[in-house]
Amino acid sequence: MARTARKYAKGASKDVERAMKKRKAGTLKSGGPGRKVKSRKQAIAIGLSEARREGKKVPARKSAKSSAKKSAKKSSKSASKTSTKKTTKKTTKKKSSKKN
């Protein structure tokens, strides 16, 4: 049985664990103004970003840019499918027959 490599370093999981404990204690702060972190997901993100800054093995962040490209691609595909079904309307000119 082959062992698979770890995606996250052990030190990275320690950083996340520390961030989670700080959040639970109510001392984890975020951003410039230093607002308290209430979200579990935000606490994990803070722990992972700190681990990245320290150079620990952590997978790269999923960028918003790539997810926006994917959604734009999907919407353009669906738009192109609907635009090909154009109905053409034949216009016939009625001859006006004026009786003198």
Position 18 in a domain: yes
Confirm whether 52 is domain-assigned.
Answer: yes
The pTM is what? 0.57
Measure the CA–CA gap between 79 and 82, rounded to whole angstroms.
5
Query: What is the reported pLDDT for 91?
Result: 67
- Stretches where the chain sits below pLDDT 50 are none
pLDDT at 63: 80
> Looking at residue 6, what is its pLDDT?
87
The confidence score (pLDDT) of residue 93 equals 67
In-domain check, residue 77: no
- Residue 35, domain extent: 10-63
Question: How many whole angstroms from its chain centre is CA 12?
Answer: 22
pLDDT for 76 equals 67
DSSP state of 91: -
Q: Does any domain span residue 28?
A: yes
At 3 the pLDDT is 84
Q: For residue 79, what pLDDT is reported?
A: 64
Predicted pLDDT of residue 86: 57
Q: How many domains does the chain have?
A: 1
